[in-house]
Amino acid sequence: MNESGEQPAPLTPEIRESGWSELIHDEDYWAIWFGFIIIFGALLKWIPKVPKIGKWTDNPFDAFLSGDTTIFIPLLILMIGLAVMTSIGISFMKTDKWLTYLAGFAGVFILSCVAYWIADQTNIKFIGLSYAMWALLLGLLISNTIGTPNWLKAGAKTELFIKTGLVLLGAEILFKKILSLGLPGLMVAWIVTPVVVIFMYRFGVRTLKMMNKKLIIIIAAATSVCGVSAAIATSAACRAKKEDLTLAVGMTLIFTVLMMVFMPMFIKYIGMNSILGAAWMGGTIDSTGAVVAAGSMLGPTAEKVAAVVKMIQNVMIGLLAFIVAIYWVTSVERDPNGPRPNAMEIWYRFPKFVLGFIAASLLFSFVVVPMMQGDFKLVEVEFIKPVTKTMRGWFFCLAFTAIGLESNFRELASRMEGGKPLILYAIGQSFNLALTLLIAFLAFMVFFPNAVH
């Protein structure tokens, strides 16, 4: 028995595969291949633009218009392209028959389109209810009413979609842009984050005595780093069940909306310095999009500060997943009566997609940006926003639709442990708010008052 009270699952022959066999049969590596196919497709202009569903107010069909033309054909091409690309990986991984997968993928993609369509209604978008929430809700609605049919489940490849999206997220982490705030930005993001993760994990285990340690670390990661993305990466690192991720993400999304709306109002009401307020929001609101929206309410400079602080924090996603994977292998899931895990055992369990995340970040930071004479905006306009960022959004939307389709409320309720996850989030986020405000004040008001001009 291990520290979590469970018998550790032995590594299967599939997991122990190495060399070329691992490169073509392991899901993590396929996520990297897919991510870099898209990245190089963007850099070489083979993929000039990815279609996305637009905003609409009264006429629902406005969402599918781009100028005077509709985007139905581009969406169909995107669906077919993603289906064919991912089905190649499915065939090599031998998890499903590729024809069965293609039918299920089409269903998941259409549901994802519906989620985007709902989220892009102007009033809903203003409130901040993101596509991730609607994708999750649509999936849960189907799975908990009529039930998810087997043909649709075959296309719900949650982890493959998640991991590919995270590899693409690496392209958005530009190091030189992150360092534009210098030491004060690093202080807010990198001092607070590990302290909050450790505090929440110990509080959940020792004080609340929660049995589900995987759920604890996912909630801690979502609270302290970047909500959905950090929860996804940490979930993969500790091999949590989909229901754990669903519960953590659901809580995070709800509170993110509330914080996005009320934190700027509170900052203005008490007359807090806008730069201090922006750094505070950047370090605590659990979504990059919500951070930008909240920061814009305090002005353009505050918006930039909030966004950069959150971007600095996002760098921690890969590192946190790496540390969690090692800790889970060497401590939480280790059989105390068995031999101590060696380096190869840790490598087998390490989430390889994190390497793709890091590689994408390094490629864009130290190759693509210098080739564009250090013009961050040009890199974003030419490659990131029209292709990698939009495609990352599609993969995340597919993932959350898939999570909903594979989850049910009974399983979610069984993980509530009398409301302990809510208590963990509330206490953890309160601690996060207090500590971030203190460090932001010291960084931007005391030690480096002239950091932002």
3-state SS assignment for residue 120: coil
For the chain, counts of helices (H) and of strands (E): 24, 2
Alpha-carbon torsion (202, 203, 208, 214), positive or negative: negative
Distance CA 55, CA 60 (A): 9
pLDDT tens, per residue, the chain with 453 residues? 444 444 444 444 444 444 556 667 778 899 999 999 999 999 999 998 999 999 999 899 998 988 778 899 999 999 999 999 999 998 888 766 778 899 999 999 999 999 999 999 998 887 777 888 899 889 989 988 988 899 999 998 888 898 899 899 889 888 877 777 778 888 888 889 999 999 999 999 999 999 999 999 999 999 988 777 788 888 888 888 878 888 888 888 888 888 888 999 999 999 999 999 999 999 998 777 788 888 888 888 888 888 888 888 888 888 888 888 888 888 887 766 666 766 676 677 677 888 898 899 999 989 998 998 878 788 888 999 999 999 999 999 998 899 889 877 777 777 778 889 999 999 999 999 999 999 999 998 888 887 665
Where on the phi/psi map is residue 243: left (φ > 0), alpha (ψ -120 to 50), or beta? alpha
Helical spans, DSSP H, in 94-212: 98-119, 122-127, 131-143, 150-153, 158-169, 175-178, 182-202
pLDDT at 108: 96
- The answer to whether the pTM exceeds 0.95 is no
Nearest to 306 by CA among 157, 159, 130, 436: 436
pLDDT in tens, 350-409: 778 888 988 999 999 899 989 988 787 888 889 999 999 999 999 999 988 998 898 777
